[in-house]
Amino acid sequence: MYTPNPHRYEKMVYNRCGNSGLKLPAVSLGIWQNFGYESNFANMEEMVHTAFDLGITHIDAANNYGNPYNGSAEENLGKILDRGMRQYRDELIISTKAGYEMWDGPYGDRNGSRKYLTASLDQSLKRMKLDYVDIYYHHVFDPNTPLEETALALDNAVRQGKALYVGISNYNKEQTAEIMKIFRELRTPFVVNQPSYSMLNRWIETDGLRDFAKAQGIGLSVFSPLYQGMLTDRYLKGKPEDFTVDKHRPWLKNELNEKRFAQLRGLNEIAQSRGQKLSQMALSWVLREGKVTTVLIGASRPEQIKENVEAVYKLDFTPGELAAIETVLSEYSE
């Protein structure tokens, strides 16, 4: 039977999610990849246990996570909870999302309708064997559904007791501002947006979403802070021999060029001068100004989680380090 580390809360940093009372660990565990039907269950379970032992209380899922079929990541999380972790449910923040294609027909494709969001949450709760999730997100903006309908569906999930808070994902600043107004009229506990963000993907800065969220008291839970693994040691010597392009990131093959590899090596030199690995510095950089609540990391083995958590303990950058990073990013930009 699993017994968690009694010292798990002593070192992790917990940030308030926007202006809400909810605190999230600076590093959270995403179960997008390596938690599917074909993944090794013992490894999944060890990763979740490792994360919790390090004070990572937030596990982020979605209805369509899992390979080869949607929902298997949530099913596996439910099994892990059954095997000794369910007793710690009140110490966990479990989030899930819905918005992308999920089942056949017009009510399960990519949308934000009340029909889809309500049915999807019921399915997710059943897969994880939960009475509620802590955060329920609309996964992607839907131009074909009125935002009021999407907002009302999320609000209804809270009123039914199936979610404690709501969030949005992949919404830009303008879309966030629009749905935020509706949530405030409804008095819905809307606390977080989940966009992509990293050194190599800074759209939330140019769009204005990062500063807008901070000013409006909305948390940011960012995914792909390591740019799908590119901001790690894996690509420092060039294209790995075992590299394959999967359906989730076909764009990655266009990134594998000497210009990008030179940029990564330049960033790695700065990381080494800070006493960090490239991945650790990349995470520290995202968290550095306090405008990001938590970074969502994926992992294929427990050791990666242990390594990445170290980023939380070194969030300070000197002006010289920040300038050097900007120089490398600009010199090798596309």
Which structural domain, as residue segments, surrounds residue 180?
Answer: 14-232+282-314
Is residue 204 one of the residues assigned to a domain?
yes
pLDDT the model gives residue 184? 98
Residue that has been written with the tokens 């449910």 in this structure: 89
**Does residue 46 belong to any structural domain of this protein?**
yes
Q: Which residues of the chain have pLDDT under 70?
A: 68, 238-253, 333-334
50, part of any domain = yes
The answer as to whether 277 is a domain residue is no
Q: What is the CATH number of the domain that holds 119?
A: 3.20.20.100
User: How far apart, in whole angstroms, are the C-alpha atoms of residue 266 and residue 2?
Assistant: 42
Summarize pLDDT for 43-83 with one digit per residue, the tens: 999 999 999 999 999 999 999 998 767 899 999 999 999 99
pTM: 0.94
Within-domain flag for 226: yes
Is 214 among the domain residues?
A: yes
- Per-residue model confidence (pLDDT) at position 318: 97
SS3 104: coil
Identify whether 209 is part of a domain: yes
Distance CA 191, CA 247 (A): 31
Question: Would residue 194 count as lying in a domain?
Answer: yes
How many angstroms separate the CA atoms of 314 and 237, rounded? Answer: 26
Specify the DSSP class assigned to residue 200: T
Domain count, the chain: 1
